[in-house]
Amino acid sequence: MSQSSSTGDVKQPTIVFVHGFLDDGDTWNDVAAGLPWGSARVELGDVPSPTLDAFAEHVTDFVDNKVVGDVVLVGQSMGSQVAELVTVRRPDRVAGLVLVAPVPLGGVSLPAEMADALRNCGGQLELQRGIRTQLSADLPEDKMLRLLYSGMQLTSDQVAATFDAWSSGHPEGTGPTRVGAPVQIIVADSDPVVRGQLLDELILPRFAGAPVATITSSGHWPHVEQPAQVTDVIFRFVASAVR
């Protein structure tokens, strides 16, 4: 983990990345390498009892004890739920919030077949490969293998409990966000999950006025599928909106 730095009298934030369901912090490596600020990646797999509050407490503790100065939180999918909760808990520390392919904080009702596959894919390599293939658009084999490695580190019980946590959502997500910091939303043009009614009714209305950037040729993992595009959006957001 690298700490925040300063140039003259201008303090530079630390970019704290929060990964999504079945993933780990290394999924952010390509994005982090392209940004000029210090960064840190939090591992949610270290949380023994997976709930959104437990994840948020874990990241909050990380920010409180491992990072100096202001932070910009960047969360993907389930990680966006966690990042929002942390931002609400530490408004004095979080200078900006980036939501990548965000799952609604209030939870989401998925088709039964998809929900069953996601909840029960722990330890199931080929099932996880099928899920990754279905939800991605441009995922080369080397990146597929990296994602599969992260998912296979979790036990079946961890996967099931984590699915229940993010799909059920959090009461904080039932109304407009209480985040006061600048927010950037990033979606992907070929994401079969975060699109249409879910995006238009459950996500965007909660963040009135937040800019939305669309990553091209990408599914649900734009930070892995198209890291250069995601890096560019985050860079422009932090450089222009975060003071």
Q: What is the pLDDT of residues 175-185, one digit of tens each?
A: 999 999 999 99
Question: Is 79 in contact with 25 (CB distance < 8 Å)?
Answer: no
DSSP string for residues in 155-209: -HHHHHHHHHHHHH--GGGGSS----S-EEEEEETT-SSSSHHIIIIIIGGGGTT
Q: Where do the domains of the chain lie, and which CATH numbers do they carry?
A: 6-241 (3.40.50.1820)
Using the predicted structure, report yes or no on whether residue 44 has a pLDDT greater than 80: yes
The pTM of this model reads 0.94
Question: What is residue 4's predicted lDDT score, i.e. its pLDDT?
Answer: 36
Q: Environment class of residue 173 by beta-carbon count within 10 Å: exposed (0-12), middle (13-18) or buried (19+)? A: buried
Question: What is residue 67's predicted lDDT score, i.e. its pLDDT?
Answer: 95
Alpha-carbon span 58 to 60, nearest angstrom:
5
Question: What is residue 241's predicted lDDT score, i.e. its pLDDT?
Answer: 86
Question: What is residue 104's predicted lDDT score, i.e. its pLDDT?
Answer: 97
Q: Is 214 helix (H, G, I), strand (E, B) or coil?
A: strand
Using the predicted structure, report yes or no on whether residue 73 has a pLDDT greater than 80: yes
pLDDT digits (tens, 9 = 90+) for 4-42: 333 333 468 999 999 999 999 999 999 999 999 999 999
